Structure 1
């Protein structure tokens, strides 16, 4: 390779590195999911005021938890792959939280995006399966599709119907007492979530 070719190759490599540096937010965002999480940390979007229905057919909104942190995840009860893992890890988090934190400073929500099939009856079966108390950890749905779509969009949750199933991303979402989404955790790192909550809630 002659001198000119070497200089050209070096120039291309440098240019590629510069492009990669800026397009990945200083090498932090190598995937769309990582980029989304960085965006949340940067912008802390407010969650929309939507109406939930839980496994007891009771309705409420995010504003009913004003002054508390909310840890949420998005699932559907007939999911046979990632959702059971998400919920088992949520159960692990739930079991490690002190009683004086649950309900007082923190609310847990498993939010179904399958509004048609996940009736209160199915949500109740799901609650029993994962031994949630239905008070401090509630299984809920958003009956209004437009409200659900807005919530998913604001939270960066991607849900794609495929036959009777859904392709979707999975994570744990932390909302602060002001109703802002401040952190997205890997669904397979429950201990990291607990450690972070210890720092925030001092337990």
Structure 2
């Protein structure tokens, strides 16, 4: 065999090897991208927090019809609250970080949405996940931020063993730190008239919360439950 023929065959084998390597790499990339797509809701959810927000927007689920005890009302489920839109946060009254900030935010929302609250269109709800919190503790927590209880309900599950279903339904993660405190995610949860979790906003983006709340209550689907 001539040297030219040998060189040609070697070049062909090298080209084939490069092609096989390139094809294998592409298949790995495609396979990895497909797995990433499936595992991250189409590349739109890269964390647990963003995933729960994506699910709330695109696949709202009904919330548990479980009775909660309230500081200002007899025991009720969320389904028995009258406002078509509920803004719900989860707190514990001894918290000095997120919960204090949330209380200040709710006081601002109470003022900014005063007209909608007065017309029964929106209600703010703070639910405690700390079994040690009493209804008086919750009333005192609210009073630290607002002298006016109108439109801002504070409550807790009837029994400690009923807390887990609430946290799962809202995607709230609470971890005891071993020192009597809790680490938890904090956000404002939008619950519609059908008592589904339909959106979640950062608690420190007050303008976005107000805008979304007003959009929801003026949408054709909004109605009193």
Bucket of the pairwise TM-score, normalised by the shorter protein: 0.7 to 0.9
Specify the SS of the correspondent of 1:148.
Answer: helix
2:136 to 121, 135, 140: 121
Offset from partner CA, 1:116-135 (integer Å, 9 cap, x none): 2x112211221111105223
| Aligned residue number for residue 73 of structure 1 | 89
Gaps of at least 5 residues in structure 1 are none
| Aligned residue number for residue 174 of structure 1 | 190
1:184 to 191, 195, 200: 200
Offset from partner CA, 1:11-68 (integer Å, 9 cap, x none): 4333322322222112100101111122222332212122223334743322332462
Specify the SS of the correspondent of 1:18.
Answer: helix
Structure with the higher strand share, 1 or 2: 1
| Aligned residue number for residue 106 of structure 1 | 122
Q: Does 1:145 align with 2:160?
A: yes
1:42 to 49, 54, 58: 58
Please report the TM-score for the alignment, with normalisation by the length of structure 2.
0.79
Regions of 4+ moved over 6 Å? none
In structure 2, do the counterparts of structure 1 residues 195 and 86 end up closer, same or farther at CA, with 3 Å as the change threshold? same
In structure 2, do the counterparts of structure 1 residues 63 and 17 end up closer, same or farther at CA, with 3 Å as the change threshold? closer
| Aligned residue number for residue 75 of structure 2 | 59
Please report the TM-score for the alignment, with normalisation by the length of structure 1.
0.86
Inter-partner Cα distance in structure 1 for 2:29 and 2:79: 51
Inter-partner Cα distance in structure 2 for 1:123 and 1:39: 30
Structure with the higher helix share, 1 or 2: 2
Is the contact made by 2:68 and 2:75 (CA closer than 8 Å) also made in structure 1? yes
Inter-partner Cα distance in structure 2 for 1:56 and 1:98: 19
Alignment root-mean-square deviation, CA: 2.4
The 5 A counterparts of 1:2-13 are: 3=18, 5-13=21-29
In structure 2, do the counterparts of structure 1 residues 67 and 98 end up closer, same or farther at CA, with 3 Å as the change threshold? closer
- State the structure with more CA Rg: 2
Inter-partner Cα distance in structure 2 for 1:132 and 1:153: 32
User: Which structure would you say has the larger RCO, counting Cα contacts within 8 Å and 6 or more residues apart?
Assistant: 1
2:150 to 125, 135, 138: 135
Q: How many residues align?
A: 202
In structure 2, do the counterparts of structure 1 residues 149 and 197 end up closer, same or farther at CA, with 3 Å as the change threshold? same
Inter-partner Cα distance in structure 2 for 1:102 and 1:115: 31
